[in-house]
Amino acid sequence: MSQPADLPQRPGVASGTTEELRRTNLARILGLVHREGHLSRAELTRLTGLNRSTVGVLVGELRDLELVYESMPAIGPGNRAGRPSPIVHPSRSVVAIAVNPEVDAIHVGLVSLGGLLIKRVRIETGGGPSSHEVVEITRAAVAGLLAGEEGQLRVVGIGLAVPGLVRLSDGQVRSADHLGWVDEPLTEMMAQATGYRTVAANGAQLGMRAEGVFGAGRGVDDLVYFIGGASGIGGGVIIGGQLLVGAEGYASEFGHTFVASNGALCPCGATGCFEAEVTQAALLESVGLHPSQADLLVEAVASSTDARVAALVEHDRALLRIAVRNAVNLFNPSLVIVGGFLSALVGEGENAIATVANESIAASREHLVIAPAVLGAEQLLIGAGELVFSELLFDPAAILSV
Ligand SMILES: [Zn+2]
């Protein structure tokens, strides 16, 4: 996926100058190492087209900034003779705090450069938390996650994955129906309470961002993403390598696409919305699982022999088919990723197309692939980390001011 278009200009760097070129190349090297996990200097030279000594200088600068570290490859019988190329790794000590409030719990994690969720905690709330509760619980959770690591970890900021509409310009949560929130300044509250730079976006869009960089959507320029969770259904769209955000950040709300003409009233005020008709809670209840056991749902549904479960799955699958049909016909993606509880409704391989995409225009599904999300429950937190890291990845030298 390409860089989002909303990144800031590098402050104090005039365009077309040697300094701008240096900063751009630093960003290219760090971006590659971040996305790939690790690369040798030789691979970085090949991938960037820069010469070897320039790559060496840039890696050295990133190492001095403590954004990467290097190791020597293991010497084995298969290694060619000659000087081995050092392996460059993203620093594990540069972290983002990722927060995902849901209707039943708040998830807080630490995500390192390289997109690794190194620690996470789930705090049960026994109902939708208020924005004040999210701030207070997060503050306590962060203190616990960082305990004993002071001085070891460098926290770049906090990323909030919100199950609702988030205004792109300032992170204001315009609405989160399942939490009962309207116009909550959660981003500002969190920044004030913790002292960390805080950014926020719609959780589903962040999940897609994670899948696009590290998961099933790696290297795919045209993809559609559906995810279902405790707080409803969301999604995201990447077209031509660019994330579709809309005028203010509210794009790709697949949970509120119209799928049932005699449908139920949705909290958004309309009727027949996908997420008003198809819920994780109903599927969990049908197979006798508690909300905290959502990660067992796919297997429980697959192994169920209960006719009532089969009927509910068939009902939900028919509506998923309508939602996927609309998305495929609108966006002509090469890949549709289905994650969260919606995975329980989808088959595999050819069967997946037959199950959820066979009502799309034939030409649009000719080369279409339907794939499950691969990052599992971690994708929203990894996506929130990715949001925090976006400024750093755009201008690594700016970390000097963090
Ligand atoms: Zn709705």
Ligand 1 centroid–CA 176 distance in Å is 11
Ligand 1 centroid–CA 267 distance in Å is 6
CA distance 170 to 357: 37
On the question of pLDDT at 278 being above 90, the answer is yes
Distances (CA, A) of 114 to 18, 90, 92, 175, 182: 28, 6, 8, 31, 34
Q: Which residues contact 359 (CB under 8 A, 6 or more apart)?
A: 321, 322, 325
Share of the chain above pLDDT 90, in %: 79
Ligand 1 centroid–CA 268 distance in Å is 4
Ligand 1 centroid–CA 198 distance in Å is 28
**Beta pairing class for 198-202 and 154-162:** parallel
Ligand 1 centroid–CA 232 distance in Å is 10
Ligand 1 centroid–CA 360 distance in Å is 23
The whole-number pLDDT of residue 164 equals 93
Pick the closest to residue 154 from 390, 389, 394 (CA basis). 389
pLDDT 10s digits, 299-343: 999 999 999 999 999 999 999 999 999 999 999 999 999 999 999
Superfamily of domain 218-374: ATPase, nucleotide binding domain (3.30.420.40)
Local confidence band at 26 (pLDDT 50, 70, 90 cut-offs): very high
pLDDT 10s digits, 64-79: 999 999 999 877 655 5
Q: How is the chain split into domains, by residue range? A: 18-75+83-90, 94-206+379-401, 218-374
Ligand 1 centroid–CA 251 distance in Å is 14
Give the domain 18-75+83-90 fold: Arc Repressor Mutant, subunit A (1.10.10)
Ligand 1 centroid–CA 329 distance in Å is 21
Ligand 1 centroid–CA 358 distance in Å is 25
Looking at domain 94-206+379-401, its CATH class is: alpha beta
CA distance 395 to 387: 14
Q: Do domains 94-206+379-401 and 218-374 have the same CATH topology?
A: yes
Instruction: Report the b/e string of 359-376 with b at 16+ CB within 10 A.
Output: ebeeebbeebbbbbbbbe
The whole-number pLDDT of residue 81 equals 58
Pick the closest to residue 168 from 297, 7, 16, 376 (CA basis). 7
The whole-number pLDDT of residue 1 equals 47
Ligand 1 centroid–CA 250 distance in Å is 13
Yes or no: say if 238 and 265 are a contact pair by the CB < 8 Å rule.
no
Ligand 1 centroid–CA 227 distance in Å is 15
DSSP letters along 201-268, please?
EEHHHHHHHHHHHHSTTTT-SSEEEEEEETTEEEEEEEETTEE--TTTS----GGGSB--TTPPBPTT
Ligand 1 centroid–CA 319 distance in Å is 14
Ligand 1 centroid–CA 317 distance in Å is 18
Local confidence band at 376 (pLDDT 50, 70, 90 cut-offs): confident
The whole-number pLDDT of residue 395 equals 93
pLDDT 10s digits, 183-210: 999 999 999 999 999 999 999 999 999 9
The whole-number pLDDT of residue 83 equals 75
Pick the closest to residue 392 from 17, 2, 30, 21 (CA basis). 30
